[in-house]
Amino acid sequence: MTEPLKTTVLISGGGSNLQALIDARDSGRLNVDITHVISNVADAGGLDRAERAGISSSVLPHGDFDSRDAFDRALALLIAASAPDLVVLAGFMRIIGAPVLEPFQGRLINLHPSLLPLYRGTETYRRAIESGDRQHGASIHFVTAQLDGGPVISQVTIPIETQDSPDTLAARLSPEEHALIVATVELFTRHRVECADDVVLVDGLTLVQPLQLQADGRLDP
């Protein structure tokens, strides 16, 4: 077996996606070593999940810094301390800039609750419902300087029901996000995916459209 993929997870909230990664690690599905969890929110529920799983964590409150740049520089140092192969933004609700992007280019991925390029930013569920969309979903993309704009690796799609509210839609998407993040990180553990010139390569081939999560939990073109 190859070395476990050293993975740092950035969170701001409940950390259910972090938990999905921990559970997949514990069940043997994911060959990852989650070496560090970083939160910009001191009482993020995900910090308790990390502690229960025996994973070290750090809190870096963005309010303690004079500028976005100073926060980003401190974040970059903190990430570098655990020398990760992969950095997963799993509900990390801060825009990150050059001090983090440059040293970790190609190793930063973000989970976003929409079918990108639709609905970058916040309130994606409400915006999808109000637009009359028939489907919604989540995407995982490489992080670039553009908000939610980097090349998309994988997506999961669910139908929007006529009676859906943003809350019911979010609740139905959540378990699908968990499956998506596990399947996508699994690709990294197998060294099957990389980012080159703003393009995603899977098994060395350019991805023309995001991989889609299948009912069996695998990702297919």
Active-site residue 112, yes or no? yes
- The answer to the question of residue 169 lying near ligand GAR (CB under 6 A) is no
Do residues 2 and 9 make contact, with C-beta atoms less than 8 angstroms apart?
no
CB of 46 to ligand GAR, least distance (A): 6
- By CB under 6 A, the residues from 181 to 220 that bind ligand GAR are none
- The answer to the question of residue 13 lying near ligand GAR (CB under 6 A) is yes
Return the DSSP state at 194.
E
Exactly one of 50, 79, 91, 183 binds ligand GAR (CB under 6 A); which one? 91
Structure-block tokens of residue 147: 């908000």
- The answer to the question of residue 112 lying near ligand GAR (CB under 6 A) is yes
Helix 45-52 to helix 16-26 angle, to the nearest 10 degrees? 10
CB of 39 to ligand GAR, least distance (A): 10
Do residues 106 and 133 make contact, with C-beta atoms less than 8 angstroms apart?
no
CB of 2 to ligand GAR, least distance (A): 27
Query: Quick one: residue 35, left, alpha or beta (phi over 0 = left, psi -120 to 50 = alpha)?
Result: alpha
Which helix (H) or strand (E) segment is 173 a member of?
A: helix 166-189
C-beta closer to ligand GAR: residue 36 or 112? 112
Give the residues lining the site for ligand GAR (CB under 6 A): 11, 13-17, 46, 90-91, 111-113, 138, 177
